[in-house]
Amino acid sequence: MDYEAVVGLEIHVELNCATKMFCDCPNRPGDEPNINVCPTCLWLPGALPRLSEQALEKAALLCLALGAELQPLCAFDQKVYYYPDLPKGYQLSQAHLPLSRGGAIDITGEDGAPRRLRIHHIHMEEDVAKLVHEMEGRTPIGLVDFNRAGTPLVEIVTEPDFRTPHEAMEFLKALRTQIRYGGASECSMENGTMRADANISIRPRGTTQMNTKVEVKNMNSVRHVGDAIAYEIERQTASVESGEPVVLHTRLWDPDKKVTSPMRAKFEGPCVPDPSVPVIRLSGEWIAEMRARLPEMPTVRAERLATEYGLAPDEALTVSADPQVADFFEALAAQEIEPRTALHWLTTQLLPAVKDTRQELSVCRVTPARLGALLKMMAAGKINANAAREVLTRMFHTDDTPEAIVAAQGFTQVSDPDALGAMVQQVLDEQPAAVADYRGGQVKALGFLVGRVMQASGGKANPKVIRELLTDRLSAAE
């Protein structure tokens, strides 16, 4: 029998707020353990939660960035379970009245056709403490780090609209882009600021029933989500075909072995309204204010980049996928750098270098102004492309202007025909075979000769001038 998968995703996103969700402790879970704590996030007797305004704003921006509808009334509930990572015995979450409902993401399916993947709702939630397992001599010990307790999260719960691993992966990529645009989170699965769980079931293709699902956790990249879903579809199909029913449970993805294996689930009780966090009423004006804060979203921006700068549709999509990259590109273009040059240098030189040096584009030393100055020197013929690449490498390690680096390193391009004439003549004298080849009709030989002159000039010669001098002399002597 032919089966199809029915997949829904539950995505946790850590909001990039300055403080935790219900207290003023810094939201820096990675700090030295248990330094960002207070009576509220340790839940000592007498403590009260105070919802952070910034957390509410960021969560609202995230919802709006995904086309979701903010609800006029939302409230926190207690998700009751007992575990050492949760000392108060319940997690504050929104089970009954979530922050938003609806929303969708449009992707392109494997067949090239557009697919709309719907979001059921988005709710706010606090993170729990982190358990660290270590050995004390031969005794295994469990340690609890409360820096993460109370970190602001949202959970995005989709409709079971996904049929293939491809759809899930495309959805996650688009989701990440849109949330980054909203400025609410970095959404890095690798760094754990975005975590996705998948609910997967299968059914005979063409039917509409909803069968028992299996939840899969622990995928820490978009690729892993795709792999885990693919594996689970195969596993469930084999299981059903061998007459074994699928039972409701949770499985963990093992990225090394590329398999899922069952895990023991935490006991979870029902959710009761929390009596300490007041219900949240969002006015129409407040929602409008949040909407006004939202920047131009990626698909809209891609269209504008294509028309305004003449980028190809796929180039425009690539640039707009990351707001930092798109902002950088537009900042270069604003300095009257030719858009294609700006795109070329940004994508082939700057971004790989930023990645290599493990920096963030937004905070790296090479600002749009500095790269713009460099590209202008190149456009004006003051330096050649080789030198520009050299200068760019150095710009990562100094705050000197590109002009200063060029001057200090002697990268200024030599374009003076008199200065280059002697070098050109010397190469012609030394390379009779290449000269003969060229005169014999092998045009390629010219490139070789240009390269020799460049080498002789220490990379500073203007290749355009060399080429002119060479063709002049080669034809004149004939």
Partner 1 sequence: MESTFAFLNPEPVFQGSPHGGADDGYLRGLRVALQPSISVRDWPAEAGSVALSGFTALEDATVVQRLRQAGAYLRGYTRMSEFGFGLGGGEAGAALAEGADIELVLDLMGESRAAAARWKVSAFKPSYSLVSRLGIVGLIPSMECCGLVAPDLGTIRKTLQTVAGPDDLDFSLLDEETPDLSARTIDPAATTVGLIREAADGLSTERQEAFHTSARYLESRGFTLKELSLPDFALFSLVHRIIGSVEASSATGRYDSVRYGPRAPGARNWNEMYLRSRDAAFGTFLKSFLLQGAFFQFNRYEAFEAACRIRAQLVTEMANLCLRAEYLLLPTPQDTPPGPTVGAPADRPASLSATYAQFDSTLFANVTGQPALYLPPTADGTRPGFQLSGAALSDGALLSLGEHLLSDANGEEW
Residues lying near Zn ion in the complex (CB under 5 A) are found at 23, 25, 38, 40-41
Of 50 and 223, which has the nearer Cβ to Zn ion? 50
Q: Minimum CB separation from partner 1 for residue 90, in Å?
A: 5
Of 38 and 282, which has the nearer Cβ to Zn ion? 38
Strand-pairing partners, residue 69, are 101
Of 262 and 278, which has the nearer Cβ to partner 1? 278
Choose the one of partner 1, Zn ion, none that binds residue 43, judging by a C-beta under 5 to 8 angstroms depending on kind.
Answer: partner 1
Q: Which amino acid is at 368?
A: P
Choose the one of partner 1, Zn ion, none that binds residue 50, judging by a C-beta under 5 to 8 angstroms depending on kind.
Answer: partner 1
Q: Minimum CB separation from partner 1 for residue 72, in Å?
A: 18
Of 78 and 384, which has the nearer Cβ to partner 1? 78
Residue 223 to residue 363: CA distance in whole angstroms: 28
Tokens standing for 438? 């060229």
String of b and e for 432-464 (b: at least 16 CB within 10 Å)?
A: eebbebbeeeeeebbeebbebbbebbebbbbbe
Residues 6 or more apart whose CB falls under 8 angstroms from that of 463 comprise 384, 450, 454
Residues 6 or more apart whose CB falls under 8 angstroms from that of 468 comprise 417
Choose the one of partner 1, Zn ion, none that binds residue 25, judging by a C-beta under 5 to 8 angstroms depending on kind.
Answer: Zn ion
Choose the one of partner 1, Zn ion, none that binds residue 72, judging by a C-beta under 5 to 8 angstroms depending on kind.
Answer: none
Of 49 and 298, which has the nearer Cβ to partner 1? 49
Q: Minimum CB separation from Zn ion for residue 401, in Å?
A: 45
Please work out, in degrees rounded to the nearest 5, the angle formed at the alpha carbon of residue 78 by the alpha carbons of 75 and 81. Answer: 160
End-to-end CA distance of the chain: 78
Q: Which of 131, 129, 142, 146 is nearest to 38 (CA)?
A: 146
Of 32 and 356, which has the nearer Cβ to Zn ion? 32
Choose the one of partner 1, Zn ion, none that binds residue 46, judging by a C-beta under 5 to 8 angstroms depending on kind.
Answer: partner 1
Binding site for partner 1 (CB under 8 A): 39, 42-51, 78, 80, 82, 84, 87-90, 142, 269-270, 272-273, 275-278
Q: Minimum CB separation from Zn ion for residue 53, in Å?
A: 16
Choose the one of partner 1, Zn ion, none that binds residue 41, judging by a C-beta under 5 to 8 angstroms depending on kind.
Answer: Zn ion
Residue 155 to residue 139: CA distance in whole angstroms: 36
Cα 251 to chain center, whole Å? 26
Residue 267 to residue 31: CA distance in whole angstroms: 30
Q: Minimum CB separation from Zn ion for residue 25, in Å?
A: 3
Q: Minimum CB separation from partner 1 for residue 144, in Å?
A: 9
